[in-house]
Structure 1
Amino acid sequence: MAPNDEKDAPLLPWDNFSNWVHAICVVTFDLELGQAMELIYPADRELSERERTNICYLAFPDSNSGLMGNVQFHFRIRQCPQSIALNPRPAFHTFNSTCPTSIQTEDGYLYGYVYFRQVKDRTLRRGYFQKSVVLLSHLPLVSLFTTVLELVAPEYFDTGEASLEAACHHLDQWPPPTPGTTLSLPLLGTLVQVRIPSRQDKPGSASLTPSSPSHTSPGPPTILVPAPHETEAFRVLAPVLPHLNLLWELVITAEPLVVMAQSPTTAANTVQTLVSLIAPLKFSGDYRPFFTIHDSEFKEYTTRTSAPPNVILGVTNPFFAKTLQHWPHIIRIGESTGSPSTQKHKIKKASALKTVEQKPGMYTKYKPHLQADKGLVKRLLKGVQTGRPVEVQTALLRRHLLELTQSFMIPLERYVASLMPLQKNICPYKAIPSLRPFNPDDFLATLELYGPQLTSGIRGDWEGLYRRFFRSVNFSVWFNARYQEVSDKLSALHLQALCDADLGRWVNSRSEVEVVDMVLRLRSKLTDADVLPVSQHTREQLQAHLNTLFMALPEDLRSVLHAS
């Protein structure tokens, strides 16, 4: 279905619900079966056996920490090919074309947002009540769905399945997830107010600010979710703050990285924050905010017969300290205090991680290309001492990272733009000129005049970092996307050149074969125009040109072309 057809398409059962959520599951602990899926809502949702098994294991903490009470975290799994084919969502096409690339949905992946409850219960044979409510979605809106589960899960635990059904019907009343629009989403007597960022937003601008205090407004209580896709970066990164620039380098070059934490919440939030370090650039490697020893890809990620894959893992089971000790970069996070330590943080060699009992820290042999920004760390530490709000600390941190990523990417954007042919070289009667090939050495030669030093005060071996970046999946995905954008722009300019051409005059000096060839080309161009950035007026002009050429042909040829 074309994006323009979405508004006119009839709504099917659970269509609105499916724009946001794939399903809501309840996973329980069965003494005979272990972790088992108790229910899935809506009941017609398809999950493969492998997906069910992975979800069941990921729905419970994977450690012996004895977490009691309520625990929230999230995970990300690969979908089976048959599941992808069963769940095409036109709304995701619109979402992906208007949201920042860093939060686009991805075919083949599903997020699970978990609300786990464990409490003592002597009436049960095991002595504990253990159950999770899991919300499955294709959208990486961590803060939003964490908030949704804070409303839905306790209600389910208190009143049972009927409340889950009611919540799903409320979700089915939600409008599509439209970036750039403030949405008020009703859920179990509460309004959840959210604004998904748009690609048109100024980088670093706030997603949503309250227009007025919610307690003064009539009607249901309102919960504001200012940044539905983000974590509290400062609170999450506090234990590794001195290594911020090093972590940014590891993420932008898509290096294998494992986060070892004591709780799934810490592991998941740390991984999610790491992949957001390079926004607005999309992290194109794989990442698993929470990963267990029972995962179907456990062997793939722990084998020593090949180099570790380009993935960021979040784990809690002490067993991983041994099975992943060959990984090149390991972050070990201890009990979180919520604020960064003022002590000296040294980077430890990765080979030092040999036993289960290890001190928190950063274990790597990687030597950063760029110097650390000590000024930022000092400003943030001073903010802790003066009681600066966490939200402000997070904003300072994200602004620094945004400026660093922009300084790194602007020279690349400029160079790719220079590969585009001049508009004057686009001729309506010739093939579209192609983009000149990307040459790493030619690009690096531009750095002296147009490099990151123009916008960043950080010194170091930028050239070495670029060379490492060129070997990463982040670069290949970014470049392929930019290549497609530039190719589409060239195609649009070529269409405009055709519209501006005097084809009525051109046809008088051309043979029938040339005219037929142009008719076929224009037909193809009209089809292409549906997915190119061109106006309706341009399409109408092309159609008029096509009609002119068509009528210039003999009737027998027109009949043949009309039938084809």
Structure 2
Amino acid sequence: MELCAGSGSPEEEEEAPWSRFSRWLECVCVVTFDLELGQALELVYPQDVKLTEKERSSICYLSFPDSYSGCLGDTQFSFRLRQSVGRRGGGREEEVYNRDAPPTLKVRVPSRSDKPGGSPVRQSAAENLLRTPTVLRTPTLLPSIHELDLFRCFQPVLVHLQVLWELLLLGEPLVVMAPSPTVSSETVLALISMISPLRFCCDFRPYFTIHDSEFREYTTRTQAPPCVVLGVTNPFFIKTFQNWPHVLRLGETKMAGDLPKQVKVKKLSKLKTLDTKPGIYTAFKTFLHKDKILIKRLLKGIQRKRPSEVQSAILRRHLLELTQSFIIPLERYMASLMPLQRSVSPWKTPPQIRPFSQEDFLLSLDDTGPQLTSVLKGDWLGLYRKFFRSPNFDGWYRQRHREMTQKLESLHLEVLCDADLVTWTKDKSEVETVDLILKLREKLNKARRQQLQLKDGVLEKLENFIETIVTSLPEELGRVLSTHCTHITH
């Protein structure tokens, strides 16, 4: 993976590895527990990283379990925290990073629907060394989301996979009550990976405690719970989250090979006491029927002591195919909104992408719907209608629209490159020629910023055209334009 296009000096090449690595890791923090002071941030590396007091406090509190269960001996887990507003820009960095990162590890960019003043929530360093400071309590890092043992995470809830997949697809608020920070964080990461390759565009906290700065925001009963997946261990949350629509309570993890007792779907009214049994507490009714053949296959695999890696591969493939069956019709319809390539003209602005019509899409499902690739029966139309109201649809649509817009920009630059612009300018006024030069320069700078995929030589040819036209203009005007263009380029 190249750091950036056009970097070639020895100094830049020497810096490239660290620059690439810094996109994944912002800093390393060491937190110790002082018997008198409590948690204390002992070391931050590199030393020039500036953390706000709020961030330092959050890191300290989140680095140690807030309950006694499941934390004997060495333990490792991950968490995420909200970056303080104004500490760092990074809009362009996020765009570059997101282009190459797997869907489940992309940085969430706030949409226009986000609350004013909100800040983007970034991944934690323990989740594969991602950008936001966190604590590495042991020399070994957590595996990435793609290396998680999905089967071990979902063993107790195999019969409810369809419920969980739909909850995650629709971005529903979900609390995971786990016996330890390790189980909490791994389960949350496994949950958000269920809808891969679709990007999970809601907030998620692998390990959430009462000391988190968003504790009041997430536990208030005066408004509906936000679209977030929370992993918790403190029994205090059993009472606190009684108003949440979906709660997954897990027990102690079974050893590999054991046939786990599958948790049941229960009413939320039963989530009251501290000795609440494991289960899924929700009134949610799935739109699709569950895949009984898959469940029987996985349960039989447990009885036959099939390796967990094989079970995970079976589970991952099922979830991937299910999500793809859901997304392919959306992708196909979105592609139909793209203007034809022949409509892109060098003498006009690029054509616009046609608007997304939900009703037109739903009508197209009779011929191109998920029934062509999935054996699952149920209310697919109802699932799509609910999905349209979720942050995951909003994130998917914005990303696809941005990619298509950039494709149109690339096509427009390529047809401009092939057009005889020099001849076009011969009978044009100086005002029209200058306007063309400024617009071309703006498009070239935008193409470089966005690193548009272009045919070889396109940018160079248009640069040469600009230089040719500038030299044909009156000397004073040409000098002003050259200065202006140089200033814009830098």
TM-score, with normalisation over the residues of structure 1? 0.76
The verdict on how the C-alpha distance between 1:233 and 1:522 changes in structure 2, with shifts beyond 3 A counting, is same
Looking at structure 1, the residues matched to 16 and 426 of structure 2 have their Cα atoms a distance apart, in angstroms, of 53
Q: What is residue 279 of structure 1 aligned with on the other side?
A: 196
Q: What is residue 165 of structure 2 aligned with on the other side?
A: 248
Structure 2 residue runs without a partner (length 5+): 109-119, 485-490
Contact 1:111–1:138 (Cα < 8 Å) also in 2: yes
The verdict on how the C-alpha distance between 1:61 and 1:254 changes in structure 2, with shifts beyond 3 A counting, is same
1:389-437 Cα offsets, whole Å, 9 max, x none, are: 1111101101101111111111111111111111111111111111111
Shift of 1:535: 3.4
Contact 1:19–1:89 (Cα < 8 Å) also in 2: no
The verdict on how the C-alpha distance between 1:151 and 1:326 changes in structure 2, with shifts beyond 3 A counting, is closer
Q: Is 1:543 the equivalent of 2:460?
A: no
The verdict on how the C-alpha distance between 1:42 and 1:527 changes in structure 2, with shifts beyond 3 A counting, is closer
Shift of 1:35: 2.2
Contact 2:175–2:247 (Cα < 8 Å) also in 1: yes
Contact 1:79–1:110 (Cα < 8 Å) also in 2: no
Q: What is residue 302 of structure 1 aligned with on the other side?
A: 219
Could you tell me which amino acid in structure 1 is paired with residue 349 of structure 2? A
1:74-96 Cα offsets, whole Å, 9 max, x none, are: 111111124334xx598876543
Q: What is residue 4 of structure 1 aligned with on the other side?
A: 5
Q: Is 1:239 the equivalent of 2:156?
A: yes
Looking at structure 2, the residues matched to 251 and 388 of structure 1 have their Cα atoms a distance apart, in angstroms, of 28
Structure 1 residue runs without a partner (length 5+): 114-134, 153-224
Q: Is 1:533 the equivalent of 2:450?
A: no
Looking at structure 2, the residues matched to 89 and 294 of structure 1 have their Cα atoms a distance apart, in angstroms, of 28
Identity score, percent? 51
1:111-157 Cα offsets, whole Å, 9 max, x none, are: 153xxxxxxxxxxxxxxxxxxxxx994259x9xx98x93459xxxxx
Q: What is residue 399 of structure 1 aligned with on the other side?
A: 317
Q: Is 1:441 the equivalent of 2:364?
A: no
Could you tell me which amino acid in structure 1 is paired with residue 413 of structure 2? L
Could you tell me which amino acid in structure 1 is paired with residue 82 of structure 2? R
Could you tell me which amino acid in structure 2 is paired with residue 4 of structure 1? A
Residue range with higher mean Cα deviation, 396-405 or 32-41: 32-41
Shift of 1:381: 1.1
Shift of 1:304: 0.1
After the TM superposition, which residues 179-198 of structure 1 pair with which residues of structure 2 at under 5 Å, given as runs?
none
The verdict on how the C-alpha distance between 1:510 and 1:464 changes in structure 2, with shifts beyond 3 A counting, is same
The verdict on how the C-alpha distance between 1:263 and 1:294 changes in structure 2, with shifts beyond 3 A counting, is same
Shift of 1:3: 2.5
SS in 2 for 1:446: helix
Q: 2:253 aligns with which of 336, 353, 362?
A: 336
Looking at structure 1, the residues matched to 70 and 435 of structure 2 have their Cα atoms a distance apart, in angstroms, of 73
The verdict on how the C-alpha distance between 1:228 and 1:407 changes in structure 2, with shifts beyond 3 A counting, is closer
Looking at structure 2, the residues matched to 234 and 283 of structure 1 have their Cα atoms a distance apart, in angstroms, of 20
Q: What is residue 515 of structure 1 aligned with on the other side?
A: 433
Q: 1:413 aligns with which of 322, 327, 331?
A: 331
Contact 2:176–2:247 (Cα < 8 Å) also in 1: yes
Shift of 1:524: 1.9
Residue range with higher mean Cα deviation, 313-322 or 226-235: 226-235
1:334-365 Cα offsets, whole Å, 9 max, x none, are: 11114675656542122321222211111101
Looking at structure 2, the residues matched to 74 and 250 of structure 1 have their Cα atoms a distance apart, in angstroms, of 22
Shift of 1:55: 1.4
Q: Is 1:50 the equivalent of 2:54?
A: yes
Q: CA RMSD in A?
A: 2.9
Could you tell me which amino acid in structure 1 is paired with residue 458 of structure 2? T
Q: What is residue 122 of structure 2 aligned with on the other side?
A: 109
SS in 1 for 2:323: helix
Shift of 1:12: 10
Looking at structure 2, the residues matched to 309 and 11 of structure 1 have their Cα atoms a distance apart, in angstroms, of 41
Shift of 1:509: 4.1
Contact 2:105–2:123 (Cα < 8 Å) also in 1: no
Looking at structure 1, the residues matched to 286 and 46 of structure 2 have their Cα atoms a distance apart, in angstroms, of 49
Contact 1:25–1:40 (Cα < 8 Å) also in 2: yes
Looking at structure 2, the residues matched to 16 and 563 of structure 1 have their Cα atoms a distance apart, in angstroms, of 33
The verdict on how the C-alpha distance between 1:14 and 1:33 changes in structure 2, with shifts beyond 3 A counting, is farther
TM-score, with normalisation over the residues of structure 2? 0.87
The verdict on how the C-alpha distance between 1:44 and 1:510 changes in structure 2, with shifts beyond 3 A counting, is closer
Contact 1:22–1:138 (Cα < 8 Å) also in 2: yes
Could you tell me which amino acid in structure 1 is paired with residue 367 of structure 2? L
Looking at structure 1, the residues matched to 148 and 368 of structure 2 have their Cα atoms a distance apart, in angstroms, of 34
After the TM superposition, which residues 424-463 of structure 1 pair with which residues of structure 2 at under 5 Å, given as runs?
424-463=342-381
Q: 1:99 aligns with which of 96, 101, 107?
A: 101
Looking at structure 1, the residues matched to 101 and 387 of structure 2 have their Cα atoms a distance apart, in angstroms, of 24
Q: 1:81 aligns with which of 64, 79, 85?
A: 85
Q: Is 1:373 the equivalent of 2:329?
A: no
Shift of 1:494: 0.8
Shift of 1:66: 6.8
SS in 2 for 1:366: coil
